[in-house]
Structure formats: C-alpha cells, structure tokens
Amino acid sequence: MSIQVRNLSHIYSPGMPEEHQALDNINFDIYDEEIVGIIGHTGSGKSTLLQHLNGLLKATDGSIVIGDVDITKPGVSMRDIRRRVGLVFQYPEYQLFEETVAKDVAFGPKNLGLSAAEVEERVEEAIQLVGLDYNMIKDRSPFELSGGQKRRVAIAGVIAMKPQVLILDEPTAGLDPGAHQDILTMIRQVHQSQGGIIIFVSHNMADVAELSHKVMVMSQGKMVMMGTPEEIFSQGHRLAELGLGVPPVTQLMHSLRARGADVSEHILSLKEAETEIYNYLQRKK
C-alpha cells in the first residue's frame, strides 16, 4: 500500500474574480506503515490537500494513486475510496449525532453493508482501540462525555471502517494537556494495531517531531520541504522564513548552544534532551 501524488494542482473558483490556486504542482510518495506529519501556516493548502486524498475535492491537474487505484480518474467509486481512506476533520466531535456512543461509532460500518455481528465487533474493537472502555461507555450519550472522550469517539467511528489510510486534521486542536496526550497515545496505538498509513496535520511542532516518520512542509500551495523530523527541524532558519518554528525542546537546545554549552541542536524530544544535557554535565565535571 502506498500513496503517489504527481503534479497535483487545485484552483478554487476557476475563471471567477475570486479564483485562487490552493495547490500548485504537489509531488510526494508515502509508503505503508508511515506516519506523516504535515505542517504549514494557515492557508498554505494543508486541508485542501487532505480532502483530495479522500476524494472530497477533485484535482484541477495531476494524479493521486492510492494502492493500485488512480482516484483522480473518471468513474472511480467514491465509496471504494472512502473504504480505503478515512478522513477525520478538525473538531470531529461536532459531528456526533446518535443517541449512544455505540450507535455513533456503528454509523460508518453499517453504511458499508456489513452484517450486524461484524458491525458490533468493529464498534467494540474501535472503541477499545481509542482508549475507552466499551462496556462502560457504549450506552452513554456522546454528548455527556468530556471533550477528549468525544474526540476519541468521533475518531473511533472512522477507525471502525478499517481504512488503509487514516487522515487526521489537527487531531489535538483545542484539547487540554491531558486529553492532548491521550490523543497522541491513541494515534500510536491505532498505528501499532492496524498498521497502514496515518497522515496528520498539526501546528504543534512537538507532536509532529514525536509521531512522524516523515514531515511535509507546505507554503502558499506548494510542497517546499520534505524529510525526516531530524532533517526538517534542523533547518530552523528556513522554517522561520516560512513563519514556522521548531519543537520547544529543540529551541531550548539551540539556546544552550548559543550560550556556549556543547550540546547537540538536533534534539526533538524531552527524553533526548535529558540524556544530552546529562551527558554534557558529566563531561563538565
């Protein structure tokens, strides 16, 4: 399973006074088992790109091949695309509508034409997978839950459809620190359990550095940088030119080096920073 995007462009309102090129000749490959983080300032084209991968928007030019299917070709079944690619919008909890959690999570699998037994099995598996207790929560109203729990229930509804590609648009936006960390843990658990490809957009550089195998940077509708988190976040000056930053811990290491400490600038996590600073202090003795 892979995703190949070639020369992808999208123009909103072509031929109209408000015409706007949202995507401009985008090219990239994503491979099975990868977690990919996408970063960029507001209006850079991130959400537009995500909606192309799910078939919600049609390309003006270019192609998107998911597995062995070019989803940009005429006649391709949108239902088949959405079996393969699950898209979770920002603030998905606002789309909850059923009277119980179990019914809400079951909505997608039911529309796939599955048997009642298989739907129930998928619902239980998805709810457990997002870190909630199925027996305790299945009959509760989703509107009685906390913000973080609602977010996880909404994501469970997409996971229950067992997509080969899971796309998350700002999955931690607006959550308190505890719920934020719960969502990060959930993403790891889903990836470990189901494999496939996970693509997520975030403005939180620490999350991107922590979760991603590959980072893509967008600006003004173009893909301007692509690489591992280490490769991307080592280019702090370039990111600053794009109105972006590096993870806070990386910025800390830059500050320590600027003050004369012999520590690496290529640190992306608190655990790495702890080890690096400890080793530096040991050398200073």
The model's pLDDT over 159-207, given as tens digits with 9 standing for 90+, comes to: 999 999 999 999 999 888 998 999 999 999 999 988 899 999 999 999 9
Say if residue 253 is in the same domain as residue 196: no
Pick the more confident residue, 278 or 78.
Answer: 278
Classify residue 278: in a domain, yes or no: yes
Say if residue 146 is in the same domain as residue 229: yes
Say if residue 178 is in the same domain as residue 264: no
Cα separation, 83 vs 98, whole angstroms: 21
Say if residue 28 is in the same domain as residue 120: yes
Task: Identify the domain containing residue 60 by its residue range.
Answer: 2-237
Residue type, 184: L
Say if residue 151 is in the same domain as residue 273: no
Mean pLDDT is lowest, of 70-84, 219-233, 236-250, for 70-84
199, two tokens = 């693509």
Helix (H) / strand (E) element for 119: namely: helix 116-129
Classify residue 242: in a domain, yes or no: no
pTM metric for this prediction: 0.91
Which residues neighbour 170 within 8 Å (Cβ) at sequence distance 6 or greater?
90, 200, 201, 202, 203
Alpha-carbon separation of residue 4 from 28, 194, 276 (angstroms): 6, 21, 38
Cα separation, 26 vs 4, whole angstroms: 10
Residue type, 20: H
Cα separation, 175 vs 11, whole angstroms: 33
For 124-153, what is each residue's pLDDT tens digit?
999 999 999 999 999 999 999 998 899 999
Alpha-carbon separation of residue 106 from 138, 180, 191, 223, 224 (angstroms): 11, 25, 21, 37, 40
Cα separation, 53 vs 131, whole angstroms: 27
For 25-69, what is each residue's pLDDT tens digit?
999 999 999 999 999 999 999 999 999 999 999 999 999 999 889
As a whole number, the mean pLDDT across the chain is 92
7, 57 Cβ separation under 8 angstroms: no
- Structure-derived torsion over alpha carbons of residues 179, 181, 182, 186, reported in degrees to the nearest 10: 140
pLDDT at position 102 is 95
Say if residue 175 is in the same domain as residue 277: no
Say if residue 156 is in the same domain as residue 256: no
Number of domains in the chain: 2
Say if residue 201 is in the same domain as residue 255: no
Cα separation, 177 vs 185, whole angstroms: 12
222-227 and 214-219 beta bridge pairing? antiparallel
Say if residue 169 is in the same domain as residue 268: no
Say if residue 174 is in the same domain as residue 221: yes
Residue type, 121: E
For 89-128, what is each residue's pLDDT tens digit?
888 888 888 999 999 999 988 888 889 999 999 999 999 9
Say if residue 209 is in the same domain as residue 275: no
User: pLDDT category, 239, cuts 50, 70, 90?
Assistant: very high
Classify residue 104: in a domain, yes or no: yes
Alpha-carbon separation of residue 86 from 82, 126, 284 (angstroms): 6, 13, 51
Say if residue 200 is in the same domain as residue 261: no
